[in-house]
Structure 1
Amino acid sequence: MRVKCVICDKIETINDETLQAKQLRNRPIHTYMCNDCHIRIAENTKKRIQTGQFRLYKSPVEKDDW
């Protein structure tokens, strides 16, 4: 399966039988990101966390009253 990275527009091929290929075929909302972009974003995020100015906003979890 030929896929295109969302960020850098690099075209790569992945195995048709992998879980990632199945997700891309069945759910169009899923997008592909190449390993280079994935690593670069992870490194930049770690640097931002170390500065102390990074806040991760999570949605509040509602508790069920049983």
Structure 2
Amino acid sequence: MRVKCVICDKIDTLDDESIIAKRLRNRPIHTYMCSDCHDRIRDKTNARIETGNFRLYRSRPDKDEW
């Protein structure tokens, strides 16, 4: 299966029976990101976390849980 990275437009080939290929085929909302872009985003996020200026905003819990 040929896939294209959503960030850098690099075209990769995945095995048709791999889990990633099955997810992309069965759930069109999922997108593919190459390992280079994934690693770059991970490294930059970790660097931002280390500075202390990073806030992770999550959805508010239901009122029943409070």
The alignment's TM-score, normalised by the length of structure 1, stands at 0.90
What letter corresponds to residue 59 of structure 1 in structure 2? S
- Dislocated runs of 4+, deviation >3 Å: none
* Equivalenced residues, count: 65
Distance 1:56 1:31 in 2: 22
Q: Which moved more, 1:6-15 or 1:56-65?
A: 56-65
State the percentage of identical aligned residues.
68
The alignment's TM-score, normalised by the length of structure 2, stands at 0.90
- Note the residue ranges of structure 2 that are not aligned, 5 or more in a row: none
Match of 1:4 in 2: 4
RMSD: 1.3
**Richer in helix (by share):** 2
- Deviation for aligned residue 1:60: 2.3
- Deviation for aligned residue 1:18: 0.8
